[in-house]
Structure 1
Amino acid sequence: MTKLKDKRREKMSVATEIDRLEERRARCQDNLERAEFRSRRETLSDTQRQELDDEMTIMNERMQKLDKELETLRGENRKNMMLSVALLVISALFYYVFFYNEEDS
């Protein structure tokens, strides 16, 4: 199952993966806000409050993990962009050297 998931991710672009993780993070953030609102507004028993606190702790850990993954993917995306710009500059340089200079001769 894990290998299938990894193969699917390999086929996905970095930008698509970033979008997917941002959506997951937004959902997690919404769930955390709902849980915090519930803990402030409702009168809960000690066990319910403890369960809610545990749930909020898990959601915070998930958000931190997603933030780390997003940071890694954004760094990878930045590298890819720099590589693309470098290739564009090299291509423009070759065009100038080989085609533009031939017209001058």
Structure 2
Amino acid sequence: MSRKLENLGIALEIDGLEKLSRRRDLEAVNSRLYGAELGSEARRSLEKEKSSLMNKASDYEKELQLLRQENRKNMLLSVAIFLLRTLIDAYWTL
């Protein structure tokens, strides 16, 4: 059980680090975009980079949501198999 909690903690830590990294990248682009006098080409390039980062973040969140949903399904299946096995063992020992 502690192994599962440890793995969950690691997964949450990785998730947090990835979110922090994306946030920092986006903040860096925003500060460059609004903090300096930029030519139209540089501004377009930064806007494109910002859009790309936003799309990556959105895709990551969608993928994470699907993975969590799949994880819930697998957990429910594991519980159902465990309960079925317990019932079979209980019936068998009667």
Q: TM-score, normalised by structure 2?
A: 0.69
1:30-69 matches, within 5 Å, as 30-69=24-63
Runs of 4+ in 1 over 3 A off after TM superposition: 21-26
Rounded Cα–Cα distance in structure 2 between residues aligned with 1:76 and 1:53: 35
Q: TM-score, normalised by structure 1?
A: 0.63
1:6-85 matches, within 5 Å, as 22=15, 24-85=18-79
- Please list every run of 5 or more consecutive structure 1 residues that lacks an aligned counterpart in the other structure: 1-14
Q: Which has the larger radius of gyration?
A: 1
- Please list every run of 5 or more consecutive structure 2 residues that lacks an aligned counterpart in the other structure: 1-7
- Give the deviation of 1:43 after TM superposition: 3.0
Rounded Cα–Cα distance in structure 1 between residues aligned with 2:38 and 2:72: 47
Identity level (%):
28
